[in-house]
């Protein structure tokens, strides 16, 4: 699962909270972190990719083998909402991510200045995204469990990833597509990041 979003949206903090159960202050991610998050019978390997401007052109190298995307948006940063919309719509237009489920994490929901869900849905163009794939938004917080639907989001991803995987298997049997080996992707990423 790819975890994407603009810088300072709280991607790493959200994963650290889910993994370790505590608030972790992090610095902006350069490159990527790989976190394994467990919940009930779900084990999710999340690739947390930095959201800074200079990293964004490299994102397409992470798309192969992606089973779902968590797109994290700072729900308190109205000024950057148009930029988040452009990134999300660009992401879902990528052919390698065709049909891949997208969970939108409306993050920092614990802050009193967060925007309404309706405002964010409209500004992010979620109605358009839903035309091409499963897409659902979830309120999340890296500091408050009572304000966070993070684990509901994992269950939704698990349910929708299974459906996507069943469709992929059908396509492979029909000779329409094949899924490359994960090791090749990791090698490509290491090569890109080390050069």
The 3-state DSSP class for residue 135 equals strand
Q: Is the pLDDT of residue 27 over 60?
A: no
Percent of the chain surpassing pLDDT 90: 40
- To the nearest 10°, report the CA torsion of 151, 153, 154, 157: 170
List, for residues 154-165, the tens digit of each pLDDT value. 999 999 986 655
Q: Who contacts 6 (Cβ-Cβ below 8 Å, separation ≥6)?
A: 51, 73, 74, 80, 83, 84, 87
Report the binding-site residues for Mg(2+).
12, 29
Q: Is the CATH number 3.40.50.12780 carried by domain 2-194?
A: no
Report the binding-site residues.
5-12, 29, 51, 107-110
Q: How far is Cα 86 from Cα 83, in angstroms, rounded to an integer?
A: 5
20-24, 46-50, 54-58, 90-94 — which is least confidently predicted?
54-58
Q: Is the pLDDT of residue 2 over 70?
A: yes
Q: Is the pLDDT of residue 47 over 60?
A: yes
Report the binding-site residues for GTP.
5-12, 51, 107-110
Q: Where are the domains of the chain?
A: 2-194
């Amino acid at each position: 699962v790819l975890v994407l979003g603009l810088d300072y949206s709280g991607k790493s903090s959200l994963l650290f909270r889910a993994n370790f159960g505590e608030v972790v202050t992090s610095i902006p991610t350069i490159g990527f972190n790989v976190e394994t998050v467990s919940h009930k019978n779900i084990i999710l390997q999340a690739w947390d990719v930095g959201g800074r401007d200079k990293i964004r052109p490299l994102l397409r190298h992470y798309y192969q083998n992606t089973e779902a995307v968590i797109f994290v948006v700072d729900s308190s940063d109205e000024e950057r909402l148009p930029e988040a919309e452009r990134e999300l719509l660009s992401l879902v237009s990528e052919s390698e991510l065709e049909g891949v489920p997208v969970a939108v994490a409306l993050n920092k929901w614990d802050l009193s200045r967060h925007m309404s869900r309706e405002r964010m849905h409209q500004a992010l163009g979620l109605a358009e995204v839903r035309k091409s794939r499963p897409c659902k938004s979830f309120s999340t917080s890296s500091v408050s469990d009572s304000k966070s639907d993070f684990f509901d989001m994992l269950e939704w991803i698990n349910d929708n990833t299974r459906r996507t995987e069943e469709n992929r298997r059908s396509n492979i049997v029909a000779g329409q597509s094949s899924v490359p080996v994960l090791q090749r992707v990791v090698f490509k990423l290491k090569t890109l990041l080390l050069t």
